[in-house]
Structure 1
Amino acid sequence: MTFTLNWAILGAGNISSQFVFDLLLNNERATGYHHIIESIGCSSKEKGEEFIKSNNIVLANNYLTSPTTQTYEEIYKNPDIDVVYIGTPHTFHKEQAINCLNNGKHVLVEKPITVNKKEAEEIFEAAKKNNKFCMEAVWTRFFPTIEILKTKVYKEHVIGDVHRLFADLSYQCDVKSLPVTSRVRDRKLAAGSLLDIGIYPITYSRILLDDKVGSKASKFEQKSFLTIDKDDLVDHLCSIIIKYENGRQALLTSSELVDGPKAYVRLEGTKGWVEMYSDNPARAKHFKIFDKSGKEIFEYKDDSGYNGFIYEANAVGNDIKAGKLENEIMPHDESLLVMGLMDQIREENGLKYDQD
């Protein structure tokens, strides 16, 4: 049995290209999910046509559908679209998501869903009012790797009692060489390492130290530091300590000033530890488990060829098919929990944006 979803892609940047790659590869493999790209929404027709060409969206891999290039307003009004993937900068997410929902579209909104918790609440209110599915695109949660790792650690107890997590997403992007108007530095785009990449170490702490989500989440407390650049006034270095009520702790870091370690996640227990590796720490594709002596006892690699966005796209398809308005793995209140945590971290460290 097949299920077809007609997608619009809002935003023609790199993240949208990676998302589209997975949809097209899925279609070439003739799975039960038919992800049809109906429209590309962007600032100019020329940019949209270049996106279609550079990503090789052709009849053969798009179920005989040739996508159109449309303005954002045309996307909102297009009756042929079921769901919109929003891959624009997060400062635009609230307005764009609400416009999609108010015009009868389901939405998958790239992380962070908004700049702050207040804006996210407005999106979810619009979703409920319009009876439409809405989810923040935290793709990391949907990788098969995550489910396999959780089974090994929490059902098979291969590393014993879990006590500590280290998680990092850092890369050296030579910040000082970039103008303050660049995507990495621009306060008007709510730039900074916390919202852009620090959300991923936070996500790993939520996934690997707590088996509950959203309103059912285990209680925790946090302490944090942001180093805020004196010229662009955003953070490029972030450190967070999380302590759960059961005593487990996480040290979470992000930076745009230095490269991170090869093992970007290390989960430690009484009988051993886990290390995770990837070219992109947001992409949970590879982990190894070691016993106390340092002997490798298990390894898993996702060799599917997908970037990894297909897993959340298929989850969206399953939920829409079932008539659900939110996803059990990434429900609305989990997004609100994380956005609220990041609001608190920014407030404590004096980092405010216009949206606040």
Structure 2
Amino acid sequence: MANLPTIRWGIITTGLISSWFVDDLVLDRPDAKVKHIIQSIGTSNLEKGRKFVEQHCPNQNPQIYDSYDQVYNDAEVDIVYIGTPHAYHCRDSMQAIAAGKNVLCEKAFAMNAKQAREVFEAAKKKNVYVAEAMWLRHRPLYRKLQELLHQDKVIGDVTRVFADFASEIDISSLPPTSRYRDLALGAGSLLDIGVYPLTWLAVADEKDMEMPRIVASQSHEEGIEVTTSAILQYSSGRMGIASSTTKTKGSPGRIFAVIHGTKGHIEVSGDTPSIPESFTVWARQTDPGSPEKALFDKEQYESKTYEFPKVGRGFVWEADNTALDVLEGRKESSIVPWAMTVHMMEIMDEIRRQGGTVYPGE
């Protein structure tokens, strides 16, 4: 670790997602590419901040501030990680950028595409690094899947992708101030978990980022979106089907995404779509002949399963890649570039428009 380049982080908020991120930053990893230092933490309560340090980074000695501005203005901070609720992402990113800080902001990056563009325009003017913290795209499993699909063409041309995320949340039992129930905080399944099925659909997109034709539907309870279903149709004929819900819980270890191609299909498995563990390639070896044989004759397929070990909570690759971007002077991520973030926000904007979900101020 002593010979590794060092990056110093400022952490905004002491909530759950920030705790997971910091847990991974301080992991002792033999394959680490960067030494991560927790330089400062911004919190609404100093005692809360001290408990956060004791639990999640006890071997470091970060400065604890009771305001975010103090983190942004800390000269020792190289990059700010923003883990606040969706509704504050734009505000917090803009304040960090105004102070000249590099930013890694949690997904969903903003409430809508307009906010995302505003943040990137501010970053461009200030000449600072900004990236969306979509950790799924950084995972070795996702990167390997992209390689097999686009370079090796293991299932031919992709024709259809299906992905689903189900995470049960009893909204009626939560206080009105909960981020899961407060529309002003971006409550609903789409921004919170629906972004993952859409990201699995995007694995078939080789960065041309065509805006698909979208047919979408949403249902609501107590004013909060609880189910989203969307069909994305591309000019090539490729189809994507994405769904998310807070009405039921997905089964652990299940297949949550299937990618179909002209020469086979791929099944992706794990406890949740945000934490994939393996995928199996089913490559067709012979001409299927009749439709009945194509459907039911497994002997014509050769299967290979790719398994990926768990490392911490799964943020380590995102953290290393982001740190190297900043240390090497880049202003946006090659893995999650600005255009990709805006493209995803535009898709979610259209889904919400059709589904009838509107956030305050829009």
Q: Same fold (TM over 0.5)?
A: yes
What secondary structure, in the 3-state scheme, does the structure 2 residue paired with 1:348 have? helix
What CA distance in whole angstroms lies between the structure 1 residues aligned with 2:361 and 2:270? Answer: 33
- 2:84 is aligned with 1:78: no
**Greater shift in the superposed pair: 339-348 or 76-85:** 339-348
Deviation at 1:191, TM superposition (A): 0.2
- 2:277 is aligned with 1:282: no
Residue 41 (structure 1) aligns with: 42
Q: 2:260 aligns with which of 268, 278, 286?
A: 268
What secondary structure, in the 3-state scheme, does the structure 2 residue paired with 1:318 have? helix
Code of the aligned partner of 1:135: A
Code of the aligned partner of 1:51: F
Pick closer, same or farther for the CA change 1:68–1:296 going to 2, 3 Å. Answer: farther
What secondary structure, in the 3-state scheme, does the structure 1 residue paired with 2:104 have? strand
**Greater shift in the superposed pair: 27-36 or 273-282:** 27-36
What CA distance in whole angstroms lies between the structure 2 residues aligned with 1:329 and 1:274? Answer: 22
TM-score normalized by structure 1?
Answer: 0.91
Quick check: 2:80–2:103 contact (8 Å CA) kept in 1?
yes
Residue 204 (structure 1) aligns with: 200
Question: Which one has the largest radius of gyration?
Answer: 2
Quick check: 2:108–2:191 contact (8 Å CA) kept in 1?
yes
Q: 1:234 aligns with which of 200, 224, 242?
A: 224
Quick check: 1:288–1:296 contact (8 Å CA) kept in 2?
no
Quick check: 2:256–2:272 contact (8 Å CA) kept in 1?
no
TM-score normalized by structure 2?
Answer: 0.90
Quick check: 1:220–1:243 contact (8 Å CA) kept in 2?
yes
What CA distance in whole angstroms lies between the structure 1 residues aligned with 2:46 and 2:212? Answer: 48
Deviation at 1:20, TM superposition (A): 1.0
Q: 1:3 aligns with which of 2, 5, 12?
A: 5
Aligned length: 343
Code of the aligned partner of 2:63: T
Deviation at 1:319, TM superposition (A): 1.4
Q: 1:98 aligns with which of 94, 98, 101?
A: 94
What secondary structure, in the 3-state scheme, does the structure 2 residue paired with 1:284 have? strand
Residue 62 (structure 1) aligns with: none
Q: 1:301 aligns with which of 299, 307, 317?
A: 307
RMSD over aligned Cα atoms:
1.8
Residue 289 (structure 2) aligns with: none
Deviation at 1:296, TM superposition (A): 6.3
Deviations 1:222-244 (A, max 9, x none): 11001022x2x121100000111
Q: 1:12 aligns with which of 14, 22, 31?
A: 14
Deviation at 1:297, TM superposition (A): 1.8
- 2:343 is aligned with 1:337: yes
Quick check: 2:100–2:128 contact (8 Å CA) kept in 1?
yes
Q: 2:110 aligns with which of 76, 98, 114?
A: 114
Deviation at 1:30, TM superposition (A): 7.0
Identical-residue share of aligned pairs (%)? 36
What CA distance in whole angstroms lies between the structure 2 residues aligned with 1:305 and 1:319? Answer: 21
What CA distance in whole angstroms lies between the structure 2 residues aligned with 1:79 and 1:49? Answer: 21
What CA distance in whole angstroms lies between the structure 1 residues aligned with 2:178 and 2:7? Answer: 35
Gaps of 5+ in 2: 285-296
Quick check: 2:150–2:206 contact (8 Å CA) kept in 1?
no
Q: 1:68 aligns with which of 60, 63, 67?
A: 63
What secondary structure, in the 3-state scheme, does the structure 2 residue paired with 1:285 have? strand
Code of the aligned partner of 1:195: L
**Greater shift in the superposed pair: 2-11 or 343-352:** 343-352
What secondary structure, in the 3-state scheme, does the structure 2 residue paired with 1:226 have? strand
Quick check: 2:96–2:103 contact (8 Å CA) kept in 1?
yes
Gaps of 5+ in 1: 60-64
Residue 23 (structure 2) aligns with: 21
What CA distance in whole angstroms lies between the structure 1 residues aligned with 2:107 and 2:79? Answer: 17
Q: 1:183 aligns with which of 179, 185, 194?
A: 179
Quick check: 2:12–2:68 contact (8 Å CA) kept in 1?
yes
What CA distance in whole angstroms lies between the structure 2 residues aligned with 1:270 and 1:340? Answer: 29
Q: 1:152 aligns with which of 148, 165, 171?
A: 148
Deviation at 1:320, TM superposition (A): 1.3
Pick closer, same or farther for the CA change 1:173–1:122 going to 2, 3 Å. Answer: same
Q: 1:244 aligns with which of 223, 234, 239?
A: 234
Quick check: 2:214–2:350 contact (8 Å CA) kept in 1?
no
What secondary structure, in the 3-state scheme, does the structure 2 residue paired with 1:80 have? coil
Deviation at 1:95, TM superposition (A): 1.4
Deviations 1:310-347 (A, max 9, x none): 11111112211221111122111111111122112212
What CA distance in whole angstroms lies between the structure 2 residues aligned with 1:251 and 1:30? Answer: 37
Quick check: 1:209–1:248 contact (8 Å CA) kept in 2?
no
Deviation at 1:219, TM superposition (A): 4.2
Quick check: 1:143–1:285 contact (8 Å CA) kept in 2?
no
- 2:246 is aligned with 1:256: yes
Deviation at 1:132, TM superposition (A): 0.4
What CA distance in whole angstroms lies between the structure 2 residues aligned with 1:219 and 1:10? Answer: 33
